[in-house]
Amino acid sequence: MHSSQVGRQGSPRRILSAVALLVLGILLWQQFNRSFKPHDYFGLPPRHSPRPQPDLTVTSDVPDGPSALSQRNTPRSRPDLRVTSGVNIFTSQTTTAKYCLDYEVPGKKGLKLCTYNPKSDFTGVKVAAYHSFNFQTMAYMFNEMAKRKIADLTNEPLSFVDIGCNVGTYTVAAAVLGYKVLAVDAMQTTLDLLASSLRLNNLTSDVTMVQNVISDRRGEFRMSIVDERNMGTARVLSKTPANVRQTQPIKAIYMDDLIPYLPSRNVFIKMDIEGSEGRAFRHADNFFKQANVVGMLVEYFIVKRNATDRDTLINFMTDRGYKPYHEKNKELLSPKKNMSWPQNVLWLI
Q: Which residues inside 169-228 make contact with ligand NAG, applying CB under 6 A?
A: 202, 205
Range 45-63 burial, b when 16+ CB lie within 10 A, else e: eeeeeeeeebeebeeeebb
- How far is the C-alpha of 85 from the C-alpha of 68, rounded, in Å? 28
Give whichever of 119 and 222 is closer to ligand NAG, judged by the CB atom.
222
How crowded is residue 40: how many other Cβ atoms within 10 Å of its Cβ?
11
The number of residues that bind ligand NAG (CB under 6 A) is 14
Judged by CB under 6 A, does residue 315 bind ligand NAG? yes
Among residues 98, 126, 251, 279, the one that binds ligand NAG under rule CB under 6 A: 279
Task: Identify residue 241 by its one-letter amino acid code.
Answer: P
Cβ 215 to ligand NAG shortest distance, Å:
9
- C-alpha to C-alpha distances, 225 to 38, 228, 231, nearest whole angstrom: 36, 6, 7
Among residues 308, 330, 331, 349, the one that binds ligand NAG under rule CB under 6 A: 308
- How far is the C-alpha of 65 from the C-alpha of 121, rounded, in Å? 9
Collect all residues with Cβ–Cβ distance below 8 Å to 274 and sequence separation of at least 6: 164, 232, 233, 234, 235, 299, 302
Cβ 120 to ligand NAG shortest distance, Å:
29
Judged by CB under 6 A, does residue 17 bind ligand NAG? no
- How far is the C-alpha of 311 from the C-alpha of 161, rounded, in Å? 23
Judged by CB under 6 A, does residue 335 bind ligand NAG? yes
Judged by CB under 6 A, does residue 283 bind ligand NAG? no
Give whichever of 143 and 202 is closer to ligand NAG, judged by the CB atom.
202
Cβ 42 to ligand NAG shortest distance, Å:
44
Residues that bind ligand NAG (CB under 6 A): 202, 205, 278-279, 306, 308-309, 311, 314-315, 335-336, 338-339
